C-alpha cells in the first residue's frame, strides 16, 4: 500500500512541526491510510494546530462549485476555518499571524483547471510574503504521472482555473507542482523562493493509477466522485465553457454531457466515426438536478474509456466541442462572463477562434505537441518519483 505524505509525516517526520504553530489547508480528502482526518491526527499527536484553511467546496466539502465560502469556527475542533474561496483566495497576513508552518494536504485531480493547485500557488506566495514555511504533504496523482497532454497556458489568460504555464494534464503530484511553482513562478529569474518542504509519498511511482495504490479515494469535491471522473474531467471539463451540461447534478459528472436540443444518437454516431483512440461514445439521456438545464431532460452522450493508458482526454474534449459546434450552429453558444470561460479553461483564445473559424483540429494538436515538448524539459527538474 502507498503511504501518503500525511502518513509519512506522522510516522517519521513529526519533528518538522513539533513545537511549532501549525495551520493546515485541507478538506475531507486529507485523510490517512486508515481514513482518519489529518487535523484530528495532528491534534492527537500533540501538534499545536491553530487554524484551518478551506479551499473551494469548503473544509467539510459540502459547497457546490463556485459557491463562496465564509470564515467560521469549526464545531468539532473549535479552530477558526479561514476561507480561501471567498473574499480571499490567498491567506492574508492576518490569517497567518498565529502560524509558523502552513501545511497543504489536499487530493488533486491531475488537471490544470482544478482550483486546489491555484490555492497551492497562492499559499506559497503568502508564506514567502509573511516569512512562514509551507509543508506540502504529497499524494498520488490519481490519473498517473506519465501522460502530459494539452496546451500550455498563456499567462495572458491566467485565472483561478489556470494560474500557471503548465499543460492541461500536467502529470505531476502536488509536491512536484509546489517545487515547480517555487522556482518558476512568477518567472525563473524572479522565483517565489519560499521556505518549502515536501513530505514525499512512499511506494508511489509515476505509472501507478489510483486504484493500484491500495488507498481509498475520497472525493476531493462533490463532482469528482471517482478516479475515472478525474480522468474524464481533464478533457470534458471543456464543456463548462459552452451551453451544454457537463453532467453536474447527475451521478456521472463529466462522463455524461448533453442538452435538451442535442440528439444523443446522432452525436454518438458522429463522434464514433472519428475513431478516436481508446474511447467509445454511447447515447445517454439524463435530468440534471442543479446547474445547467436544472430539471430539464437532456439528450447527449456518455464517454466510455476503453484503455486508460491510451485515452487522451484533452484531445477527446476538443473533438467533442468541435462536433457539437458543427452539428448545432444555431444552438451552440460560448459561455461568457467578463471573459469567455472556455478561454480561461484552455488558457488561450486560439482554440475557441479556431473552432469558430472552422480551422483544422490537427493543426491545433501539432501546436500542442510543440508546447508539451518544451514543457517536458522544464518539468524534468522538479520530478520526485521514478
Q: Indicate the domain borders of the chain.
A: 5-215+377-382, 227-348
Question: Cα–Cα distance between 27 and 63 in angstroms, integer?
Answer: 11
DSSP string, 104-143: EE----SBTT-THHHHHHHHHHHHHHHT-EEEEE----TT
* Domain with residues 5-215+377-382, CATH architecture: 3-Layer(aba) Sandwich (3.40)
Which of 34, 36, 38, 50 has the alpha carbon at shortest distance from 14? 38
SS3 for 204?
coil
Q: Mean pLDDT for the chain?
A: 97
pLDDT at 351 over 90: yes
Omega before 186 cis (within 30°)?
Answer: yes
Helices first, then strands: H and E counts in the chain: 10, 14
Question: Cα–Cα distance between 30 and 369 in angstroms, integer?
Answer: 34
pLDDT at 67 over 90: no
Cβ-proximal residues to 114 (8 Å cutoff; 6+ apart), any chain? 108, 233
Mean pLDDT (whole number) for 308-335: 98
Question: Cα–Cα distance between 81 and 15 in angstroms, integer?
Answer: 25
**Residues linked to residue 279 through DSSP beta bridges, in sequence order:** 305
Query: What pLDDT digit, counting tens, does each position of 271-284 carry?
Result: 999 999 999 999 99
**Residues linked to residue 149 through DSSP beta bridges, in sequence order:** 169
Q: Do domains 5-215+377-382 and 227-348 have the same CATH topology?
A: no
> Strands, E, within the chain: which ranges?
21-26, 48-54, 72-73, 80-83, 101-105, 133-137, 149-152, 167-169, 186-187, 190-191, 195-199, 256-259, 279-286, 298-305
**Residues linked to residue 191 through DSSP beta bridges, in sequence order:** 186
pTM score of the predicted model: 0.97
Residue 296: phi, psi to the nearest 5? -110, 140
Q: How many residues does the chain have?
A: 386
Query: What pLDDT digit, counting tens, does each position of 85-107 carry?
Result: 999 999 999 999 999 999 999 99
Query: What pLDDT digit, counting tens, does each position of 259-305 carry?
Result: 999 999 999 999 999 999 999 999 999 999 999 999 999 999 999 99
pLDDT at 60 over 90: no
CATH tag for 227-348 (out of 3.90.1150.140, 3.65.10.10, 3.30.930.10, 3.30.465.10) = 3.90.1150.140
Amino acid at each position: 500500500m502507498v503511504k501518503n505524505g500525511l502518513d509519512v509525516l506522522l510516522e517519521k517526520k513529526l519533528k518538522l512541526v513539533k513545537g511549532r504553530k501549525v495551520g493546515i489547508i485541507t478538506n475531507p480528502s486529507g485523510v490517512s491510510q486508515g481514513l482518519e482526518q489529518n487535523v484530528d491526527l495532528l491534534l492527537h499527536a500533540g501538534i499545536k494546530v491553530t487554524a484551518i484553511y478551506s479551499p473551494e467546496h469548503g473544509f467539510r466539502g459540502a459547497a457546490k462549485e463556485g459557491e463562496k465560502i465564509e470564515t467560521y469556527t469549526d464545531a468539532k475542533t473549535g479552530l477558526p476555518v479561514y476561507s480561501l474561496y471567498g473574499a480571499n483566495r490567498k491567506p492574508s497576513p492576518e490569517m497567518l499571524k498565529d502560524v509558523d508552518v502552513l501545511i497543504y494536504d489536499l487530493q488533486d485531480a491531475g488537471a490544470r483547471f482544478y482550483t486546489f493547485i491555484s490555492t497551492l500557488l497562492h499559499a506559497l506566495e503568502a508564506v514567502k510574503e509573511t516569512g512562514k514555511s509551507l509543508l506540502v504533504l504529497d499524494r498520488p496523482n490519481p490519473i498517473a504521472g506519465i501522460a502530459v497532454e494539452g496546451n500550455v497556458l498563456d499567462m495572458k489568460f491566467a485565472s483561478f482555473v489556470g494560474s500557471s504555464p503548465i499543460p492541461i494534464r500536467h502529470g505531476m503530484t502536488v509536491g512536484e507542482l509546489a517545487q515547480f511553482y517555487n522556482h518558476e513562478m512568477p518567472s525563473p529569474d524572479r522565483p517565489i523562493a519560499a521556505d518549502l518542504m515536501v513530505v514525499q509519498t512512499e511506494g508511489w511511482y509515476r505509472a501507478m493509477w489510483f486504484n493500484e495504490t491500495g488507498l481509498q479515494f475520497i472525493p476531493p469535491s462533490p463532482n469528482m466522485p471517482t478516479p475515472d471522473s478525474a480522468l474524464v474531467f481533464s478533457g470534458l471539463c471543456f464543456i463548462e465553457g459552452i451551453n451544454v451540461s457537463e453532467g453536474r447534478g447527475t451521478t456521472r459528472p463529466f462522463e455524461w454531457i448533453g442538452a435538451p436540443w442535442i440528439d444523443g444518437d446522432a452525436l454518438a454516431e458522429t463522434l464514433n466515426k472519428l475513431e478516436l483512440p481508446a474511447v467509445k461514445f454511447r447515447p445517454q439521456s439524463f435530468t440534471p438536478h442543479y446547474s445547467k438545464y436544472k430539471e430539464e431532460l437532456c439528450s447527449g452522450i456518455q464517454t466510455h474509456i476503453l484503455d486508460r493508458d491510451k485515452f487522451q482526454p484533452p484531445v477527446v474534449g476538443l473533438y467533442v466541442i468541435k462536433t457539437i459546434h458543427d452539428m448545432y450552429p444555431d444552438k451552440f453558444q460560448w459561455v461568457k462572463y467578463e471573459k469567455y470561460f472556455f478561454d480561461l479553461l484552455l488558457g488561450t483564445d486560439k482554440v475557441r477562434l479556431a473552432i469558430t473559424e472552422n480551422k483544422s483540429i490537427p493543426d491545433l494538436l501539432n501546436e500542442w505537441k510543440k508546447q508539451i515538448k518544451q514543457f517536458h524539459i522544464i518539468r524534468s527538474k522538479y520530478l520526485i518519483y521514478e
